[in-house]
Amino acid sequence: MVLDCLKPQRLAQFWAQALGYHPAPSSGPYVVLVPGAQPGPDLVLQRVPEPRAGKNRMHLDLRVPTLEPELARLTVLGAEALTPEPIDEDGFHLTRSVIATRSPRGACPAGTAALRLTTSAGGGGG
């Protein structure tokens, strides 16, 4: 997976901790994160010069046993809840709102990637 962003080094810190990934050798505009103990795809953060225009076209769905503890963990890492309550979407029951990474100063910079938390064991992709 490749995510375009303005500051890949900063976002890599969040995503590595959020996903349990670790940095792999990378250079230039890329920061590569690879899975730790769990299997999963590599995540490549690619620096781009222009800010995101409009809505994120991609987000990651993380399936978790319970929503609120995971939301609290990700908030400590620098995430922000974008909706106040869980929502129920077709195929995803008890989805906890979309959260997005933010900068250490609290502003949600253009070029960040969003993610959703869900407790659903079924349903389609996000």
> Using 50, 70 and 90 to split pLDDT, how confident is the model at 111?
very low
- Residue 19 inside a domain? The answer is yes
Whether 115 has a pLDDT exceeding 90, the answer reads no
What is the mean pLDDT of the segment spanning 17-34?
Answer: 94
pLDDT given at position 123: 39
SS3 31: strand
- Residue 107 inside a domain? The answer is yes
CA distance 56 to 43: 16
Domain count within the chain: 1
CA distance 62 to 43: 14
pTM here is 0.73
> Using 50, 70 and 90 to split pLDDT, how confident is the model at 76?
confident
pLDDT given at position 33: 96
Measuring CA to CA, which residue among 19, 107, 23 is closest to residue 8?
A: 23
Q: Where are the beta strands (DSSP E) in 7-119?
A: 21-24, 30-35, 43-47, 59-63, 79-81, 86-89, 92-101, 114-118
CATH (domain of 48): 3.10.180.10
pLDDT given at position 110: 38
- Please provide the average confidence, as pLDDT, over all residues in the chain: 73
- Residue 124 inside a domain? The answer is no
